[in-house]
């Protein structure tokens, strides 16, 4: 309605300007009031069209790519975006509390804290949705809160697959590496069976087999570290042999 009123008023002013132009002789100036009023209204109209009205809550939440919503003072979702509907199911979020949607008492408590003015964030295992969610709750004015969800389910699954692969690969590598190391040690201890050239090749195989064995142990240590089963043993280390081995590689 405001835009319509401004447009009509501006048209009337422009019509009055045209009438003044038609009634006056060429080169005769228009009244200052008409020129000033026309200029102000045109500037106001241009600013209104260019800037537009400020975005509403729904438009702001829809602009967030991750699942998001606005909690009202009762803790119910008054505004949700399409991503949140896709996460929990269309029509299941609007007008409900986080406890009703997720069946997570911890997430319900976090929502109450955010409405009371205390921000909250953390990972929540939502069994009802079969998802692991990272949720951020930010207090707003008038006992409202903005809630943002990030679905970590797939990322955690891939992380678990990677950990299992590292653990399995390191275990599977131990057997062939041990066999190579044993065969090389047997050849080197045989004495006269190897000529100098062959012995040089076997010694090179021994060094690289030892290196592969260390890499396998490091993979196992990494797997234990990620599972929280790794224990660091502190002690003195001879640097000279380590440097010499690195130079030989």
Whether residue 211 lies inside any domain: the answer is yes
Query: Which pLDDT score is estimated for 4?
Result: 39
Query: The domain that contains 162 carries what CATH number?
Result: 1.10.287
Say how many domains are in the chain: 3
Query: Which pLDDT score is estimated for 48?
Result: 44
Whether residue 243 lies inside any domain: the answer is no
Whether residue 246 lies inside any domain: the answer is no
Listed in order, strand segments (DSSP E) in 47-204 are 68-71, 77-80, 120-126, 131-140, 144-151
| Residues of the domain holding 119 | 57-151
| pLDDT digits (tens), the chain, 249 positions | 344 334 434 454 445 545 555 555 555 555 554 455 455 545 554 554 445 555 677 888 888 888 999 999 999 999 999 999 999 888 888 899 999 999 999 999 999 999 999 999 999 998 888 899 999 999 988 888 999 999 999 988 888 888 888 878 877 888 888 888 888 888 888 766 777 788 888 888 888 888 888 888 888 877 777 777 767 778 888 888 878 777 765
One domain for residues 76 and 132: yes
Helix (H) or strand (E) holding 173: helix 153-189
pTM across the whole model: 0.56
One domain for residues 16 and 89: no
d(CA 135, CA 103) in angstroms, rounded, equals 14
CA atoms within 13 A on the CB side of 33: 1
Whether residue 228 lies inside any domain: the answer is yes
Number of Cβ atoms within 10 Å of the Cβ of 140: 14
Q: DSSP string covering 219-237, please?
A: HHHHHHHHHT---------
Per the CB < 8 A criterion, the answer to whether 5 and 41 are in contact is no
Per the CB < 8 A criterion, the answer to whether 117 and 139 are in contact is yes
Listed in order, strand segments (DSSP E) in 118-166 are 120-126, 131-140, 144-151
- The answer to whether the Cα torsion of 125, 127, 131, 137 is positive or negative is negative
Query: The domain that contains 111 carries what CATH number?
Result: 3.30.450.20
């Amino acid at each position: 309605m405001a835009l319509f009123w401004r447009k009509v008023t501006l048209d009337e002013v422009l019509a009055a300007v045209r009438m003044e132009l038609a009634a006056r002789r060429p080169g005769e100036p228009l009244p200052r009031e008409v020129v000033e009023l026309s200029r102000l209204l045109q500037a106001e109209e241009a600013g209104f069209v260019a800037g537009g009205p400020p975005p509403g809550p729904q438009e702001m939440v829809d602009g967030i790519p991750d699942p998001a919503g606005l909690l009202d003072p009762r803790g119910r979702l008054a505004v949700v975006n399409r991503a949140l509907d896709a996460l929990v199911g269309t029509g299941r979020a609007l007008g409900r509390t986080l406890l009703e949607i997720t069946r997570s008492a911890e997430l319900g408590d976090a929502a109450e804290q955010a409405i009371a003015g205390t921000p909250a964030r953390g990972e929540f295992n939502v069994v009802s949705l079969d998802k692991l969610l990272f949720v951020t709750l930010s207090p707003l004015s008038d006992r409202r809160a903005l809630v943002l969800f990030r679905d970590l389910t797939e990322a955690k699954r891939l992380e678990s697959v990677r950990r299992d692969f590292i653990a399995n690969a390191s275990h599977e590598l131990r057997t062939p590496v041990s066999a190579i190391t044993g065969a090389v040690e047997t050849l080197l201890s045989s004495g006269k069976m190897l000529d100098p050239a062959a012995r040089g090749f076997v010694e090179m195989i021994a060094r690289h087999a030892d290196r592969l064995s260390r890499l396998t142990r490091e993979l196992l240590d990494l797997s234990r570290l990620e599972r929280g089963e790794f224990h660091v043993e502190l002690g003195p280390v001879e640097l000279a042999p380590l440097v010499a081995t690195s130079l030989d590689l």
